[in-house]
Chains A and B, each alone.
Chain A
Amino acid sequence: VKLLEPITLGSRSARNRIVFGPHETNLARKRAISDRHLAYYRARAEGGAGMIVVEEASVHGSDWPYERAPFVGDARAGWEQIAQVCHENGTLALAALGHAGGQGSSAYSQAPLWAPSRVPEVASREVPKWMEPEDIEEVIHSFAVAARLAHDCGLDGVEINAGQYSLVRQFLSGLTNQRGDEWGSDKLLFARRILEQARANVLSGVVGLRLSCDELAPWAGLVPDAAAEVAAALSDHVDYITVVRGSIYTTSAYRPDTHVEPGFNIELARLVRAAVPDRVAVIVQGSVVDSGPAEWILSEGIGDAVEMTRAQIADADFGRKVTDGEADRVRPCIRCNQACQVRDARNPIVSCVGNPSSGHEWEDPAIGGTAPIRHDVVVVGGGPAGLECARVAAMRGHRVSLCERGDQLGGTFRVAANGAGRAPLVALVDWLEAECRRNGVEVRLATEVTAAELEQASKDGTRVVLCTGSTRGRPSYEADDDAVVVAALDFLGGESLPEGPVVVWDPIGGPIGVSVAELLASQGREVTLATPDLIAGNELSRTGDLAPANVRLQASGVHLAKRSLLRRVTASDVEVEDRFTGERSTLKAAVVIDAGYRLPDDQLWRETGERLQRAGDAAAPRSVYEAILEGRRAALAVEAV
């Protein structure tokens, strides 16, 4: 297997070609590489990663792009510990070094952004200071100092960021570098000077370059052919190049969610591979989350190693499982971006919907091992919460039966995957189901459980966990008797709709309403998405799908009724109210699909005296992250008295 073959990177050799790339985690304490980082990277090193590139550290005080962005000046202790733990596990460890330039934030530094030219960042619209020559020299020098520190800490080298959020790329690109001086006439000068300094200061260590090879802004930005020339021109100074894409106008293109098929960087990688000498390794990035496609990329010679970051966020043991021939047991990354994408002012900690302890290695109890006492466990409900509960309980040695009243497992999550662009979600519940069966969970489909049965089981010492999911919510609007209102999940579950125009009511702004509207549009329906927000899918910014979703909705002809409150549904139309002015208007609708809040299905809980353990939506309908987290906790809790 090519993926598992060692690879030479300059003076070092990685044991395999699986790379855990640099990414924002919010695990820093203030700006220090922390104990939390250490626990996070330790798990990936132990789990078999060939090379880990630690979260980027800002090289200079003028850069503080997000509150917990690591800073080189606060990195020493963390880098030393990470180098040590990685080496103990046979993993290479590199420091990512960067400066976000005009794409940073002045909120934390209270100082102007530095950039090659006066180009405002798209999201913040902040105009940067265009750097004076002495500023440029200072930043170059700070890369040198940082590279030396990385070396002194025992790291194997540094990766210089010229990727999506980087000052180095801003200098390389006509989009952001409009200077009339030498730094503008030779756009590669800044990068070259930094790489020279990095090489000189990292001594025998590795120098890598993370390069955006397509800024997706062809009118002035780096286009693939030009990027390949840049790669070739800089190749003398580097041991590897990681091929990425994206820039200021395309923040979601770098690591998109399920709406973009994996493999979008394949052609870019081929171009770069052809342009640089064999001595320089090419690492392929871009939604490669499964070992099969990774192996294909290597066997085709598209690149020499594969960055599989999200795959290892989902399953820290990815490398080990593949090495042990258990690739089918890897917990899949479903590219949902719901918990791992943390570039967000609220500083969420990196995690994974399928593996909620990811990022929380420093605080969460381990789920491995065997329970001291073996219990009989009945889990009611086969959605994500029930599946995770059953899986973990069975893994820990309990005798588990999982009762599901429907004829398939996966609950509302499997149904939600029927929304447009969300099919890959199914892999997670398929994996949970397979793991349950492997671990000996007795799965009973089409099984209604009664309160009396549960009471009896409970009396007999059986541990009962209710994962009964959610039910339709309370409408916040009037509906006539002959009005047709269908819950979004019922529609996604196959309920048929009457002919005619559809209004999708989405007070949440998450993926469900948008995916329903898109699905209907693709079926040729006339669709209006009604939202109280000023933006459709208002909450999608965290996953990176906000702008893409709005483009898709408009391109597919979905009518958007923004700032609207649904007031009344009749047989033929709906009445909506402008959220600000109170003005009412009417939209044609033969049917309304309600993508609003749901209620817990807590009937069994109530009938059993409101004391049995609940997990997930049965306690409060939320996302799959909470369902799996609580399912897991419930499995551990059965061992408490």
Chain B
Amino acid sequence: MSGGRYRYLFSPLRIGPVTISNRIVFSAHLTNYAEDGLPSEQHAAYYAARAEGGTGLIITEEHSVHPTDWPYEKLIHGFHPEVIPGYRRITDAVHRHGVPIFAQINHNGGQASGMYSRLPVWAPSPIADPLFREVPKEVDRREIAEIVAGYAKVASHCKAGGFDGIELQCSHSSIVRGFLSPATNVRTDDYGGSLWNRARILLEIVEAVRETIGRDLALGVRLCGDELVENGTTIDEAVEVAKLVEEQGLTDYINTSIGVATSTLFMIEASMHVPPGYALFIPSAIRKAVELPVVGVGRFKDPLQAERALAEGHCDLVGVVRGQIADADFVAKARAGFTDDIRLCLSCNQECVGRMGLNRWLGCIENPRTGREVDLPPPVTTEPRRVVVIGAGPGGMQAAIVAKMRGHDVVVLEKESQPGGQARLAAVVPNRAEFGDIVRNLHHDCRRLGIEIRFGVAADAETVLAEQPGVVIVATGAVPAAPYWVPAEASEGGPQICDVRDVLAGTASPSGRVVVIDELGFHQATSVAELLADRDCDVEIITPGMVVGQDLGITLDLENWNIRAAAKGIVQSTDLVAMGVEPGKLNLLHHPTGRNVQRDVDWVVLAVPQAPNDTLYFELKERGIEVHRIGDALAPRRAHAAVVDGYRVGGIV
């Protein structure tokens, strides 16, 4: 099978003893699918779905090599032999689709706490990680030997479990990185000081693991090309380490990454605010220095970008993780020439990366199957019905898609001239355009499935009944709801007040001194503030909370938001509750001290909770027809909630 327009992407490659059929790697990432330290059935189903979807190679999430390493609750404890049956379940499931799978093994070193292990954290030097904030125990020689032996032991478990190769994570969250980096290794013995000394443990581990697995399994080393921290490893030294690894002659490939998973995580799993391919300089530099195949990573969203990275010689393989989280069939669709059918990742980080830090299972904002692969998909219906969906936002479209796939007769009524609802508006602000892909993807699926969407139809009960529905799904979204302190009518000389939606839709154009009130803690306030600052407004964001845009931390957008906000002169003020307006002023209460404060303003823009647009639902309910309500019409929440509601209801009607 040729790759059509993707000549490089679909050329096979040998990695040690393993041959892969294409250059796309589903590289290692946390899933939080482990149960009691063991790989789960969900793990197997998750990886198998990507194997079935045609990925060239799968590298699993990390398996811990030692009890001192337990940084997050749902870690796979590879050092327990009990993991082997779970490994076997994963590898059998993946091999059924003819795809090789490697296991990543690791010790997170000082990038951990003792919360779960109730043991001291181990690291080269007693330097606390800035996220975990726990001073580690400086490992002695005996403990170093124990770590090395742990790698070998886990490698033997992986071999017994049927893996085709092993990857050593020596990059963004690893005790090996800890040793390699001058920022975290201040030892004065044989394991500190010169680069060779700092790399000693890495070479010892490679040797021990190769000794254990023999030559039948591939062995890779993943290196951090730039830690992006003070005094940390940068690309020149990373290249030198890659050369040392190659000279040792025991390793089959080099994988790469950027950043440190705790202090500069926002650059490892960069959101849509960071340009695609931002980390390509790393494999590029390493590939120039070594013969081994090199994997490049860093927000590869579509096969075209991946193809170009290969064609330009930056790397031999391309890691596409989020792209395949969003669409398990990413590779198969590219190979078949149906690139447009790929459900593009938004790089929103809301339900994949964002959930990892919260100790929740990995999902996807736009793919309700992700994280639920172990469950059967909704069954095809035996009683096809006429399903009328009101509203073509993410929830409505998702419900329509599932209902249609199950064999129902589906029509969608949308009052606007375009699909997407609030998601479409959210994408109009600077740096957020990719969010609009959720609308494109869903709309594309609707069209592909032949779902009729009637635009410009403001449905009321009569319109709906005229469709002779078997069942109605109300996905009418939410409406802005002004807080109690907003005067019902604009007061004389008072600041003008509008909702963020008005600004995004262009129905309000604030100017001059603008205060944006952030009660939602997500992109609504910050992105509108940026938009208005770009339009030369003097912008201040005010929140009753302790941080503006608090949840931007979850999606790794907080750092870059703060950098942009400073550059755009946006002022951020916390602990302030809006109390009312008077001519030219906004009255606020500083709640920790009880002080009243004022701002001189021309405009107040509200990012506050909305109200469900549920009139139609209750009208239909009263008429006694079967009606379901999803998304914001049920309770105004984020896009993912709408998609999940749509999937659930579409699956049961």
Contacts and interface: CB of A to CB of B under 8 A. Distances in A.
Interface of A: 67, 106-108, 110-113, 118, 120, 125-130, 345-348, 356, 360, 474, 507-510, 532, 534-535, 539, 546-547, 550-551, 554-555, 563, 578, 580-581, 583, 597-600, 610, 619-622, 626, 629-630
A360 B116 CA distance: 12
Contacts of A129: 612, 634-635
Contacts of B360: 67, 107-108, 345
A581 B567 CA distance: 8
Contacts of B114: 622, 626
B136 interface: yes
Interface stretch (B120-128, B234-242, B279-287): B120-128
Interface string B479-501: 00100000000000000000000
Contacts of A118: 481, 609, 611-612, 635
A509 B126 contact: no
Nearest to B547: A534
A568 to B, nearest CB: 14
Contacts of B592: 550-551, 554-555
B520 interface: yes
A186 to B, nearest CB: 22
Contacts of B359: 67, 345-347
B566 A578 contact: yes
B128 A547 contact: no
B634 A112 contact: yes
Given A534-B546, A555-B593, A629-B118, 9 more contacts: A106-B637, A107-B355, A118-B611, A550-B575, A581-B567, A597-B126, A599-B126, A620-B121, A622-B135
Interface string B637-648: 100010011001
B351 to A, nearest CB: 10
A591 to B, nearest CB: 24
B358 interface: yes
A629 B118 CA distance: 8
Given A619-B137, A622-B135, A554 B635 contact: no
29 contacts: A106-B637, A110-B648, A111-B644, A111-B645, A112-B634, A112-B641, A118-B635, A120-B519, A125-B609, A345-B359, A345-B360, A346-B115, A348-B115, A551-B592, A551-B593, A554-B593, A555-B593, A597-B127, A598-B135, A599-B135, A600-B135, A620-B126, A620-B134, A620-B135, A620-B137, A621-B126, A621-B135, A622-B120, A629-B118
A598 B559 CA distance: 27
Contacts of B563: 580-581
Contacts of A629: 118
B73 interface: yes
Categorize the interface residue count of chain B.
35 or more
B546 A535 contact: yes
Interface string B521-532: 100000000000
Contacts of B121: 620
B243 to A, nearest CB: 32
Contacts of A597: 126-128, 133, 135
B644 A126 contact: no
Interface of B: 72-73, 114-115, 118, 120-121, 126-128, 130, 133-138, 140, 355, 358-360, 481, 519-521, 546-547, 558-559, 562-563, 566-567, 575, 592-593, 609-612, 634-637, 641, 644-645, 648
A127 B547 contact: no
A563 B546 CA distance: 13
Given A120-B609, A127-B610, A509-B133, A112 B637 contact: yes
A106 B358 CA distance: 13
A34 B464 CA distance: 50
B521 A535 contact: no
Contact of A113 (B355, B546, B635): B635
Given A620-B120, A620-B126, A626-B114, A610 B140 contact: yes
Contacts of B645: 111-112
A125 to B, nearest CB: 5
Contacts, number: 125
Contacts of A622: 114, 120, 134-135
B135 A580 contact: no
B635 A128 contact: yes
A346 B546 contact: no
B562 A600 contact: no
B593 A127 contact: no
Which 9 A-B residue pairs are closest in the complex by CB-CB distance?
A580-B562, A129-B635, A620-B137, A551-B592, A112-B635, A554-B592, A581-B566, A620-B120, A534-B547
A126 B521 CA distance: 10
A294 B6 CA distance: 76
A106 B566 contact: no
Given A535-B547, A580-B563, A127 B358 contact: no
A640 B476 CA distance: 69
B644 A110 contact: yes
Instruction: Pick the most buried of A113, A120, A578: most chain B CB atoms within 10 A of its CB.
Output: A120
Nearest to B594: A555
Contacts of A546: 546
B61 to A, nearest CB: 18
Contacts of B559: 580
Contacts of B566: 578, 580-581, 583
A499 B137 CA distance: 37
Contacts of A111: 644-645, 648
Nearest to B630: A112
Contact of A547 (B546, B567, B636): B546
Nearest to A599: B126
Contacts of A130: 635
Given A346-B115, A580-B563, A127 B137 contact: no
A630 B521 CA distance: 41
Contacts of A599: 126, 135
Contacts of A120: 519, 609
Given A346-B115, A539-B133, A554-B593, A127 B546 contact: no
Nearest to B591: A551
A597 B126 CA distance: 9
A600 B72 CA distance: 25
Nearest to B120: A620
B625 to A, nearest CB: 16
A600 B546 contact: no
A610 B141 CA distance: 10
A424 B567 CA distance: 46
Residue with the greatest number of chain B CB neighbours at <10 A, chosen from A129, A563, A583, A600: A129
Contacts of B641: 106, 112
B141 to A, nearest CB: 9
A597 B133 CA distance: 8
Residue in A360, A474, A599, A620 with the greatest tally of chain B CB atoms within 10 Å: A620
A578 B567 CA distance: 13
B135 A127 contact: no
Contacts of A598: 135
Nearest to A553: B592
Nearest to B561: A580
Nearest to B118: A629
Given A129-B634, A535-B547, A620-B137, A347 B126 contact: no
A487 B636 CA distance: 49
Nearest to A633: B118
Given A345-B359, A554-B593, A125 B562 contact: no
A629 B120 CA distance: 11
A67 B359 CA distance: 9
A600 B609 contact: no
A212 B138 CA distance: 48
A598 B637 CA distance: 44
A547 B128 CA distance: 25
Given A563-B562, A581-B563, A126 B637 contact: yes
Contacts of B519: 120, 125
Nearest to A115: B635
Contacts of B562: 563, 580-581
A11 B327 CA distance: 60
